[in-house]
């Protein structure tokens, strides 16, 4: 009765995890491959728990089935982790080969004198490789994505791998006793499911947490970053501008703001369609991000207009950077449709020297950019070159 209750609880736990992975596979197409592999892991683990609990007496009659299910589960979790990190199963050949070797050693007939020892040694070695290689291959990329929390999803691999390594050491030091204890053991009651449930729960909870964390990061990025160009959206850029001016005011530092507008963009759209215009904007956004410093910010103001926030850049320093940007854009030779002139931009900038608001600085840089377009495009204009705005002429009074 106690064993049946433990089995029921284990199956309920695996069912709940399976439901979560099924929902992720249905609702998140980008995560479908890894979610389906983890869902298959739940099914494999459920079959393992059922087979172990329902067997009366020694586990020897079902040992080969349990070993095959164990290898299958380890392969699925490793391949699922691989797909989660890389977007596809990058090391599928290794996972398939290791699984095949382990299964072959489990089922192929061997001489009676070495059958148990050889099959156990190959099986446990394959199991250790399936659990250990994800730690080696995935540790760095998952750390880059999740930082200090990247070790959490790899912890279950390490715990299960240590248990397998301990058995391999025992098998090496005392092979006869290890093989006999594995084949003759009957610890398949409720207590045997406790470490199984803990390890399985730790694995699925940690990977579900990583999956949720990735979606939160993506949602925040989509809210901040323009999907086409990869630069900041207008709202987040304005927030960055206000924060930069607040800091600059306290530290008494200059700030430069620059506007770039793609020349003849309407002609690009007319000649090549909006897809061609999108490709130009995408390439230009990548180039601008690559050219800027880590402290600088690039945003898409609207349409074909980009805006650059350059904290700490003074009026004497700004012209050199603006000329370098123009050279980089010219040398990049971003493809444009046939019949269009080579891609160029009109650039206007203004330097904030401690007074005025962010909105006023935006207006100044915008005015300088429009002056660059008025002068014939592919030109740089500093707002300081412009005279004070002229008042509109007064209307003469009627006689």
Residue 263 CB contacts under 8 Å (≥ 6 apart), including other chains: 341, 343, 344, 345, 346, 373, 377, 378
DSSP string, 286-353: HHHHHHS-TT-EEEEEETTEEEEEEET--TTTHHHHHHHHHHHHHHHT----TTSPPP-EEEEEEEE-
Q: pLDDT tens digit string along 141-168? A: 998 888 888 888 999 999 889 988 988 8
Is pLDDT above 90 for 192?
no
Q: What does the DSSP 8-state code read for residue 150?
A: G
Token output for 319: 């012209």
Question: What's the mean pLDDT in 233-253?
Answer: 92
Is pLDDT above 50 for 172?
yes
CA torsion sign for 271, 272, 273, 274 is negative
Where do the domains of the chain lie, and which CATH numbers do they carry? Answer: 2-224 (1.20.1070), 234-385 (3.30.70.270)
Q: pLDDT tens digit string along 84-138? A: 999 999 999 999 999 999 999 888 876 655 556 777 888 889 999 999 999 999 9
Q: Is the pTM of this model over 0.95?
A: no
Residue 333 CB contacts under 8 Å (≥ 6 apart), including other chains: 342, 343
If residue 282 lies in a helix (H) or strand (E), which one and from where to where?
helix 265-291
Q: What does the DSSP 8-state code read for residue 257?
A: E
Residues 168 and 125: their CA atoms lie apart, in Å, by 8
If residue 182 lies in a helix (H) or strand (E), which one and from where to where?
helix 175-184
């Amino acid at each position: 009765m106690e064993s049946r209750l433990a089995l029921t609880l284990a199956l309920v736990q695996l069912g709940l995890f399976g439901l979560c992975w099924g929902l992720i596979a249905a609702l998140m197409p980008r995560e479908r491959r890894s979610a389906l592999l983890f869902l298959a892991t739940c099914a494999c683990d459920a079959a393992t728990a059922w087979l172990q609990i329902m067997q009366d007496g020694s586990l020897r009659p079902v040992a080969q089935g349990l070993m095959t299910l164990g290898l299958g589960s380890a392969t699925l979790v490793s391949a699922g982790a691989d797909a989660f990190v890389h977007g596809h199963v990058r090391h599928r050949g290794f996972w398939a080969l290791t699984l095949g070797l382990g299964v072959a050693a489990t089922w192929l007939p061997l001489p009676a004198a070495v059958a148990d020892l050889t099959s156990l040694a190959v099986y446990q070695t394959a199991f250790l490789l399936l659990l250990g290689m994800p730690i080696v291959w995935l540790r760095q990329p998952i750390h880059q994505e999740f930082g200090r929390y990247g070790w959490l999803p790899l912890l279950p691999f390490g715990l299960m791998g240590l248990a397998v390594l301990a058995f391999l050491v025992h098998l090496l030091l005392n092979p006869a006793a290890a093989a006999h204890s594995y084949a003759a053991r009957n610890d398949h009651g409720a207590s045997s499911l406790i470490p199984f449930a803990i390890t399985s729960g730790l694995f699925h909870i940690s990977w579900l947490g990583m999956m949720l964390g990735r979606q939160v990061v993506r949602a925040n990025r989509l809210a901040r970053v323009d999907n086409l160009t990869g630069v900041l959206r207008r709202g987040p850029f304005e927030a960055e501008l206000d924060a930069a001016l607040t800091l600059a005011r306290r530290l008494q530092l200059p700030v430069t703001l620059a506007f770039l507008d793609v020349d003849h963009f309407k002609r690009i759209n007319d000649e090549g369609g909006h897809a061609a215009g999108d490709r130009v904007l995408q390439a230009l956004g990548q180039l601008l991000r690559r050219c800027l410093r880590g402290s600088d910010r690039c945003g898409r103001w609207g349409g074909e207009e980009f805006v650059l926030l350059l904290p700490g850049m003074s009026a004497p320093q700004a012209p050199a950077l603006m000329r370098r940007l123009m050279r980089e854009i010219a040398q990049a030779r971003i493809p444009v449709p046939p019949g269009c002139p080579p891609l160029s931009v009109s650039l206007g900038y203004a330097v904030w020297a401690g007074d005025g608001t962010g909105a006023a600085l935006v207006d100044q840089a915008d005015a300088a950019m429009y002056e660059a377009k008025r002068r014939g495009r592919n030109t740089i204009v500093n707002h300081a070159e412009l005279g004070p705005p002229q008042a509109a002429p007064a209307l003469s009074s009627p006689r």
